[in-house]
Amino acid sequence: MVSLGVIFPPDLAPEQLRPVAMAAEESGLDELWLWEDCFAESGIATAAAVLAWTERVRVGIGLLPVPLRNVALTAMELATLARLFPDRLVPGVGHGVLDWMGQVGARASSPMTLLAEYATALRELLHGQTVSTAGRYVTLDAVGLAWPPRAVPPVLVGAVGPRTLTLAGAVGDGVILTGETTVDQLSEAARQVRAGRSDSGRDGAPEVVVFVPVTDRPPARDIADRVSRFVEAGATTVALHSVGDNAPPLVEFARLAGQEVRPLLS
């Protein structure tokens, strides 16, 4: 069964987050997704708040830009959240917006190399391994977490182009696709992720998360039909992004998605 979520975008002030989180929790939504955009809100801080406020809803972070974060620190933060709130965290990592990375002096000359080294080390650390590596960007000397998570969260990789999609399958547990992804593009993207996973000798199906914009106020049935088309194309999670001048307040949209759209997908 598909997981259905809504997105709390970072153009909303942090103090607006709690009522949205509670609406997601109470309405039956599966997930609430957060973004870490420069220079808005921290993905880790907001995820911690939502997890503490709620008891059931899963929290996705889509995504943490790897040039900004030492991989050991990210592993420590994710492991802490995963131990405090088992099976409720779905983190994603990615290149970040390259211009923003340049603004803070963190732009990598080879974003693909950085992402590959980073995602590999992050998964190893979260799985309790002691990691030593001397890559182009990631250097660790016998680093291991004192408190690795008992229930290891999946590490998803944000991807658009074919090389990054293949990388998501090779070194991640799945992929996060942007709101510009069409149904046909999702089908091909999912195939590339699966191929990357298979070529790397990894078993199991990857998670495929897609952000889907919903403009204005369409009926719940129309939203459910659109979600179903993405599911048929290979999505395992659909996170709805309410946009448009006539879009309802996010609290109202979360309730609509949970109470009206979610039952139509069962």
* pLDDT tens digits, 71-102: 999 999 999 999 999 999 999 999 999 999 99
CATH number for the domain spanning 201: value is: 3.20.20.30
| 177-180-181 Cα angle (round to 5) | 55
Amino acid at 111: P
* Cβ atoms within 10 Å of 184's Cβ, excluding its own: 9
The first and second tokens of residue 121, run together, are 């080390």
What is residue 28's predicted lDDT score, i.e. its pLDDT?
96
- List of E strands, the chain: 3-8, 31-34, 58-65, 89-94, 131-134, 139-143, 156-158, 174-177, 207-215, 237-243
Work out the pLDDT band at 104, boundaries 50, 70, 90. very high
- Whole-model pTM? 0.96
What is residue 29's predicted lDDT score, i.e. its pLDDT?
98
What is residue 38's predicted lDDT score, i.e. its pLDDT?
87
The total number of structural domains that make up the chain: 1
What is residue 18's predicted lDDT score, i.e. its pLDDT?
98
Domain enclosing residue 73, as ranges: 3-264
Work out the pLDDT band at 193, boundaries 50, 70, 90. very high
The residue with tokens 């405090």 is: 84
Work out the pLDDT band at 26, boundaries 50, 70, 90. very high
Share of the chain above pLDDT 90, in %: 95
What is residue 1's predicted lDDT score, i.e. its pLDDT?
81
pLDDT over 90 (residue 182): yes
pLDDT over 90 (residue 37): no
Share of the chain above pLDDT 70, in %: 100
What is residue 46's predicted lDDT score, i.e. its pLDDT?
98
pLDDT over 80 (residue 121): yes
Could you report the per-residue pLDDT of 127-181, keeping only the tens digit for each?
Answer: 999 999 999 999 999 999 999 999 999 999 999 999 999 999 999 999 999 999 9
Contact 246, 218 (CB under 8 A): no
pLDDT over 80 (residue 266): no
Contact 107, 66 (CB under 8 A): no
